């Protein structure tokens, strides 16, 4: 990245860490998410039993249960498994729902790659076409020579070398201009360097040449033929779909895209994207010695191994895993800090695949009934402090004691929306200003105020999840909240987890309530320190020590303490005195 853009990106990141919300992004807030509206699934995939497709129900049940037990690491939200094009198992870990679309993050890139393939098939684009020919309005005397060799192929294979990336996208609303002005790290096509803005420019190329938005182009060509009912795609400030991220799909619809690739681009007898495009997209086009996976990269698709398997991949555990030899697709959504299927999860997937047979198995009604029961009772339950519980009598006493209490919050950087989600949508909270409790029947209502915004979390008396919604500056997210608690003589402790169920993110509030005061700690899953490290890497530095040395402004900051305050914000609150509730002395007239 040229020094000017790098320094500006670093300053923007520092504003993020300092919670200087008025400067993120520099061009102001733009609402990106549309509200969820339920739609009927009019084109479901065919269902079958595992045994009919050569898979033991017991093996699948063990797979789901083992993953359920890893809520603190794998943090799975939903899994859909296809074999021979049929759904043989599907389950969501409550409170997550199969019918609710989930943010894909970088898994969106694979869909953008399919869009480019369709556009090339129809003659709108050519993979060897140069960027200066597609976007002549951004060519200047200074960049004409630098970009003369850059083609769509280099974007598809992440080999453009362009330095302008996700962090820099907060600097200017015209991302195309910034991309074309950025100085490459190396000669195009010579190295692999993962950058989501490559995918954004691919989306912009489809929009430019077709005269349609990316979603409008794909709806009759991909989404409608496959029966993909939800395909909301966030847009940049200029109104172009982000390409590299921002798409949301249900797990079943994501699995359909994997099946389309396994079918070599055919769906219900119709060629959606050419067989040759799929063959190239799902095979090694560039080696990835510096990538998170070492098996190569195709056209916006990662190779999973050297045996022909591949995957669509998104941050925090969004995967579509394609196993052509086993004729199997596994779509998985998560809230994990891991980027790729590796370690224990990879081993679990491989172990499951070893149980697959080439021929149908004898039906096992008992095992299948047990699998169905498990799939209907899955739950996402990350660990909480052991001293907390769900004692009903204790909760009732807590609810009576807190009913009507209000607390003013001191200076803090906390908010109901997880910080990672705030960063992705540039929708920064102004910090929590007040919290209020209200007993309603058996439950306890917790109202959270952030300046002129108020959101409600329902804490159920039985500790179960309660569904609702949270809104910040017009961005409405479906949420589900559960609580654990402990009552001592002069102390109440509440652990409140709110899953933002359209995303990988959850907010965890720990409330420590003493006489006349309360301390609120804001935590989240996936852990925020992973997001911070990712942002540092994107700016172009590998360690905080180097970052401190590079920027003079950090000499005035203790970076370690700054990051700690950002990743673990705390609000110290004082109880509001209700003077109007005190008895008024009787005064004789």
pLDDT in tens, 352-394: 999 999 999 999 999 999 999 999 999 999 999 999 999 999 9
| Three-state DSSP class for residue 450 | strand
At 300, phi and psi to the nearest 5? 65, 25
Residues 319 and 404 in one domain: no
Contacts of 361 (CB under 8 A, 6+ apart): 50, 51, 52, 54, 55, 56
With a cut of 80, say whether residue 294 has pLDDT above it. Answer: yes
Q: Which of 76, 78, 75, 83 is nearest to 59 (CA)?
A: 83
| pLDDT bucket at 32, cuts 50 / 70 / 90 | confident
- Cα distance from N-terminal residue to C-terminal residue, the chain: 80
Residue 295 inside a domain? The answer is: yes
Residues 411 and 493 in one domain: yes
Residues 301 and 408 in one domain: no
Residue 103 inside a domain? The answer is: yes
Q: Diameter of the chain by CA atoms?
A: 97
Please give the mean pLDDT across all residues of the chain.
Answer: 90
Contacts of 133 (CB under 8 A, 6+ apart): none
Residues 309 and 430 in one domain: no
The pLDDT of residue 424 is 87
Average pLDDT over residues 519-546: 69
Q: For residue 97, what are its two tokens? A: 């729902």
Q: Which of 329, 348, 375 is the last residue of a domain?
A: 375
Residue 239 inside a domain? The answer is: yes
Residues 362 and 404 in one domain: no
Determine contact, residues 404/448, Cβ cutoff 8 Å: no
pLDDT tens-digit readout, 170-200:
778 999 999 998 889 999 999 999 999 999 9
How many domains, in total, are found in the chain? 2
Residues 365 and 406 in one domain: no
Residues 370 and 397 in one domain: no
The burial class, CB within 10 Å (0-12 / 13-18 / 19+), for 373 is exposed
Residue 41 inside a domain? The answer is: no
| Residue 276 host element (H or E) | helix 275-281
Residue 470 inside a domain? The answer is: yes
pLDDT tens-digit readout, 95-139:
999 999 999 999 999 999 999 999 999 999 999 999 999 999 999
Determine contact, residues 511/518, Cβ cutoff 8 Å: yes
Residue 589 inside a domain? The answer is: no
Q: For residue 91, what are its two tokens? A: 């389950």
With a cut of 70, say whether residue 543 has pLDDT above it. Answer: no
- Count other Cβ atoms within 10 Å, centred on residue 509: 24
Note the pTM of the prediction, 2 decimals. Answer: 0.92
The pLDDT of residue 376 is 98
The pLDDT of residue 293 is 84
Residue 451 inside a domain? The answer is: yes
With a cut of 50, say whether residue 544 has pLDDT above it. Answer: no
With a cut of 60, say whether residue 551 has pLDDT above it. Answer: no
Residues 145 and 220 in one domain: yes
Q: Which of 312, 357, 347 is nearest to 332 (CA)?
A: 312
Q: What is the CATH number of the domain that holds 272?
A: 3.40.710.10
pLDDT tens-digit readout, 43-79:
999 999 999 999 999 999 999 999 999 999 999 999 9
Q: Which domain holds residue 551?
A: 392-581
| pLDDT bucket at 416, cuts 50 / 70 / 90 | very high
Residues 314 and 436 in one domain: no
The pLDDT of residue 137 is 95
Q: What is the CATH number of the domain that holds 538?
A: 2.40.128.20
Residues 353 and 408 in one domain: no
Residues 337 and 470 in one domain: no
Residues 71 and 216 in one domain: yes
The pLDDT of residue 5 is 66
- Residue tagged 């409405």 (tokens): 476
Q: Which residue has the higher pLDDT, 82 or 21?
A: 82
Residue 42 inside a domain? The answer is: no
pLDDT tens-digit readout, 336-351:
977 665 667 888 999 9
């Amino acid at each position: 990245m040229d020094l000017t853009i790098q320094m500006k990106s670093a300053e923007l990141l520092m504003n993020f860490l300092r919670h200087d919300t008025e400067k993120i992004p520099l061009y102001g807030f733009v609402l990106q998410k549309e509200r969820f509206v339920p739609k009927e699934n009019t084109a479901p995939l065919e269902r079958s039993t595992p045994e009919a497709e050569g898979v033991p129900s017991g093996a699948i049940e063990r797979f789901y249960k083992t993953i359920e037990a890893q809520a603190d690491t794998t943090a799975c939200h939903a899994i859909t498994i296809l074999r021979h094009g049929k759904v043989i198992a599907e389950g969501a870990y409550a409170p997550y729902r199969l019918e609710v679309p989930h943010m894909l993050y970088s898994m969106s890139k694979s869909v953008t790659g399919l869009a480019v393939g369709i556009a090339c098939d129809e003659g709108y684009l050519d993979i060897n076409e140069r960027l200066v020919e597609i976007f002549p309005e951004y060519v200047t005397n200074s960049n004409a020579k630098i970009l003369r060799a850059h083609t769509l192929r280099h974007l598809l294979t992440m080999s453009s070398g362009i330095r302008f990336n996700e962090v820099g996208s907060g600097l200017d609303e015209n991302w195309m201009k910034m991309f074309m002005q950025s100085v490459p790290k190396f000669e195009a096509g010579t190295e692999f360097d993962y950058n989501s803005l490559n995918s954004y420019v691919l989306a912009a190329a489809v929009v430019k040449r077709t005269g349609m938005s990316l979603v409008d182009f794909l709806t009759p060509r991909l989404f409608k033929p496959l029966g993909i009912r939800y395909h909301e795609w966030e847009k940049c400030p200029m109104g172009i779909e982000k390409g590299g991220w921002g798409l949301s799909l249900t797990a079943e619809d994501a699995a359909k895209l994997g099946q389309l690739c396994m079918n070599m681009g055919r769906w219900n007898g119709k060629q959606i994207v050419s067989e040759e495009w799929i063959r190239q997209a799902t095979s090694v086009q560039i080696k990835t010695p510096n990538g998170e996976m070492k098996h190569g990269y195709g056209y916006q698709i990662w190779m999973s191994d050297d045996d022909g398997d591949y995957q669509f991949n998104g941050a925090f555990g969004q995967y579509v895993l394609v196993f052509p030899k086993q004729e199997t697709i596994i779509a998985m959504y998560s809230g994990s800090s891991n980027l790729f299927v590796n370690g224990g999860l990879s081993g679990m997937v491989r172990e499951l695949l070893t149980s697959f047979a080439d021929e149908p198995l004898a039906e096992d009604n008992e095992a299948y009934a047990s699998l169905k029961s498990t799939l209907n009772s899955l739950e996402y339950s990350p660990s909480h402090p052991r001293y907390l519980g769900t004692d009903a009598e204790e909760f009732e006493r807590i609810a009576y004691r807190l009913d009507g209490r209000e607390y003013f919050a001191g200076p803090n950087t906390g908010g109901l929306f997880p910080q990672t989600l705030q960063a992705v949508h540039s929708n920064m909270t102004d910090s929590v200003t007040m919290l209020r409790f209200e007993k309603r029947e058996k439950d306890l209502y917790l109202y959270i105020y952030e300046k002129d915004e108020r959101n409600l979390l329902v804490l159920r008396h039985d500790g179960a999840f309660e569904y609702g919604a949270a809104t910040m500056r017009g961005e409405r997210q479906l949420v589900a909240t559960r609580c654990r608690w402990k009552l001592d003589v002069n102390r109440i402790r509440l652990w409140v987890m709110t899953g933002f169920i359209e995303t990988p993110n959850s907010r965890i509030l720990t409330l420590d309530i003493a006489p006349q005061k309360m301390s609120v700690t804001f935590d989240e899953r996936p852990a925020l320190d992973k997001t911070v490290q990712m942002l540092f890497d994107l700016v172009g530095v590998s360690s905080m020590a180097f970052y401190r040395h590079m920027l003079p402004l950090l000499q005035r900051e203790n970076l370690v303490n700054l990051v700690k305050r950002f990743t673990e914000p705390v609000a110290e609150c004082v109880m509001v005195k209700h003077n109007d509730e005190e008895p008024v002395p009787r005064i004789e007239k």
